[in-house]
């Protein structure tokens, strides 16, 4: 009896998820019709890159290291996505509004299989892109990097590479003090764009901010958060907004819904941008219409 009930529950949950995704994908069509041409160009370029790039991870590799992915996400990680923007596209579009549009310095905390990281790399030019992740570099991209040993293996490891831009991969934990110390000593720059996407807990997000982000933001910056609909993450991001606001004249926090790295194959994520650029006004002025676009105030 229990087996039958569990089986029924499984199929009902699966059916519900399918209908939620179908409703969502129909709903976002109204936003596509009002699209922004600059963003459409970015989407064309990132989708072209993904089509050429192929698979990011194979079954044998995932069985050894899951790269922070659940099995349902893994099954869709290599599938094609349609042309409603993902967070990658929004970050790239946002970079157009930095006064420093060239030689952008970008930090991604929590790169997983490097799907977002190499889309950023394919679009940006004369940029420096730094990845921070606890996992080893995937086999697909391992040959692009060479190890640079500044310290013992258990204290974090730097890898340097070059493909379109200057690339760096730091393998370490955002919760390990020796890794954080060595990362900060080995990376001597301020970042224009930082993408926070590692530990999806309030404690993890605050650790990233306190130990990596807070002292590494450029004068003009974009601090981008994914998955703010996870328990406690929006409140953590709002606290970070409050702390940044105390030391900056003008800071804005804009939130919205957007697709993640597998596009329409999962529910849209609540994302947020903390910046001294008012993206709530900027997006509306430039006819970029995103679901649940909000201007967050303290």
Q: How confident is the model at residue 4 (pLDDT cuts 50, 70, 90)?
A: low
User: Are residues 21 and 76 both part of a single domain?
Assistant: no
User: Are residues 11 and 55 both part of a single domain?
Assistant: no
Mean per-residue pLDDT of the chain? 87
| Contact indicator for 264, 82 with CB cutoff of 8 Å | yes
Gyration radius of the chain's alpha carbons: 19
Dihedral angle at the C-alpha atoms of 243, 173, 222, 191, nearest 10 degrees?
Answer: 100
User: Are residues 105 and 29 both part of a single domain?
Assistant: no
Q: How confident is the model at residue 31 (pLDDT cuts 50, 70, 90)?
A: low
User: Are residues 162 and 78 both part of a single domain?
Assistant: yes
User: Are residues 46 and 78 both part of a single domain?
Assistant: yes
**CA 247/CA 250 separation, integer angstroms:** 9
User: Are residues 81 and 27 both part of a single domain?
Assistant: no
**CA 83/CA 51 separation, integer angstroms:** 13
User: Are residues 15 and 50 both part of a single domain?
Assistant: no
pLDDT digits (tens, 9 = 90+) for 113-161: 999 999 999 999 989 999 999 999 999 998 888 877 554 555 567 777 6
Q: Distances from the Cα of 110 to the Cαs of 13, 20, 67, 133, 175, in angstroms?
A: 29, 28, 9, 5, 12
Q: Write out the residue range of the structural domain in which residue 55 sits.
A: 36-296
Lowest-confidence range among 34-43, 118-127, 165-174, 215-224? 34-43
pLDDT, mean of residues 43-55:
94
pLDDT over 90 (residue 56): yes
pTM of the shown model: 0.88
pLDDT, mean of residues 9-22:
51
User: Are residues 130 and 251 both part of a single domain?
Assistant: yes
User: Are residues 87 and 27 both part of a single domain?
Assistant: no
pLDDT digits (tens, 9 = 90+) for 65-116: 999 999 999 999 999 998 889 999 999 999 999 987 778 999 999 999 999 9
**CA 50/CA 119 separation, integer angstroms:** 8
H/E element holding 128? strand 128-133
Output the domain CATH number for residue 161. Answer: 3.40.50.150
Q: What is the DSSP letter of 193?
A: E
Q: What is the pLDDT of residue 232?
A: 96
User: Are residues 97 and 20 both part of a single domain?
Assistant: no
**CA 135/CA 278 separation, integer angstroms:** 34
Q: What is the pLDDT of residue 83?
A: 86
Closest CA to 170 of 199, 138, 139, 135: 135
User: Are residues 2 and 136 both part of a single domain?
Assistant: no
User: Are residues 95 and 3 both part of a single domain?
Assistant: no
In total, how many domains does the chain have? 2
pLDDT over 90 (residue 42): yes
Nearest 5°: the CA angle 120, 121, 127 is 105
pLDDT digits (tens, 9 = 90+) for 157-206: 777 766 678 899 999 998 899 899 989 988 878 999 999 998 889 999 99
């Amino acid at each position: 009896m229990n087996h039958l009930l569990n089986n029924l529950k499984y199929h009902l949950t699966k059916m519900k998820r399918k209908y939620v995704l179908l409703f969502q994908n129909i709903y976002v069509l109204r936003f596509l019709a009002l699209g922004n041409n600059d963003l459409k160009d970015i989407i064309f370029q990132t989708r072209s890159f993904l089509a050429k790039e192929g698979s990011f991870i194979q079954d044998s590799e995932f069985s050894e290291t899951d790269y922070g992915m659940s099995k349902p996400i893994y099954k869709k990680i290599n599938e094609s996505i349609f042309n409603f923007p993902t967070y990658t596209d929004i970050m790239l579009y946002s970079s157009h509004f930095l006064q420093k549009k060239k030689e952008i310095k970008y930090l991604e905390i929590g790169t997983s299989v490097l799907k977002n990281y190499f889309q950023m790399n394919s679009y940006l030019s004369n940029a420096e892109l730094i990845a921070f992740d606890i996992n080893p570099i995937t086999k697909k991209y391992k040959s692009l990097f060479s190890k640079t040993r500044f310290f013992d293996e258990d204290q974090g490891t730097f890898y340097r590479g070059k493909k379109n831009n200057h690339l760096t991969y730091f393998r370490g934990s955002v919760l390990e003090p020796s890794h954080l110390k060595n990362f900060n000593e080995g990376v001597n720059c301020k970042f224009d764009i930082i993408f926070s996407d590692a530990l999806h807990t309030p404690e993890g997000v605050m650790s990233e901010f306190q130990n990596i982000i807070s002292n590494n933001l450029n004068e003009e910056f974009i601090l981008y958060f994914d998955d703010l609909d996870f328990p406690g993450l929006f409140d953590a991001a709002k606290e970070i907004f409050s702390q940044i606001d105390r030391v900056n004249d003008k800071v804005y926090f804009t939130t919205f819904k957007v697709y993640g790295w597998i596009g329409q194959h999962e529910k849209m994520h609540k994302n947020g941008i903390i910046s001294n650029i008012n993206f709530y006004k900027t997006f509306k002025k430039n006819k970029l219409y995103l679901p649940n676009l909000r201007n967050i105030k303290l």
